[in-house]
Structure 1
Amino acid sequence: MKLYRFLTGPDDATFCHKVTAALNKGWHLFGSPTYGFDQASNAMRCGQAVVKDVEGQEYTADTKLSDW
């Protein structure tokens, strides 16, 4: 199965750690990162899509992406 996630977070080290953790679990960057201002929190936010291929598994709507 091919999995897709869009990681988001504040523009600080926690976002970088989130992406780094995904990369260390076998996820791969997909496309360019995004960056925008969140008026509700009055802060900059980051986003990055990641993908992963998992052999021998079938995707269902119940698949918990963070488990992979």
Structure 2
Amino acid sequence: MKLYRFLTGADDSAFCHKVSLALSKGWELHGSPTYAFNATTGEMQCGQAVTKTVHGKEYDPSMKLGEQ
């Protein structure tokens, strides 16, 4: 099965660490990152889609994608 996640966060080192952690767990970048201004918080926000192929499991909507 192929899984999809969209990681988001403020434009800071914590976001980069979040993406780096996903990559270290076998997730792969999918498409280009996004960058937008959040008028509510006054901060720039980042987003990055990642995908991962997991063999031997069936998709279940209750699964925690970050633990795969």
Which of the five TM-score ranges fits, normalised by the shorter chain?
Answer: over 0.9
Distance in 1, Cα, partners of 2:25 & 2:12: 21
Deviating beyond 6 angstroms after TM superposition, the runs of 4 or more aligned structure 1 residues are: none
Counterpart for residue 47 of structure 1: 47
Task: State TM-score, norm by structure 1.
Answer: 0.97
Matched pairs, number: 68
Q: Cα deviations across residues 4-60 of structure 1 (Å, max 9, x unaligned)?
A: 000000001000000000000000000000000001110000000000000000001
Unaligned runs of 5+ in 2: none
C-alpha RMSD of matched pairs (Å)? 0.5
Unaligned runs of 5+ in 1: none
Counterpart for residue 9 of structure 1: 9
- What SS class does the counterpart of residue 51 from structure 1 fall into? strand
> Per-residue deviation at 1:66?
1.0
Q: Could you tell me the percent identity over the aligned residues?
A: 60
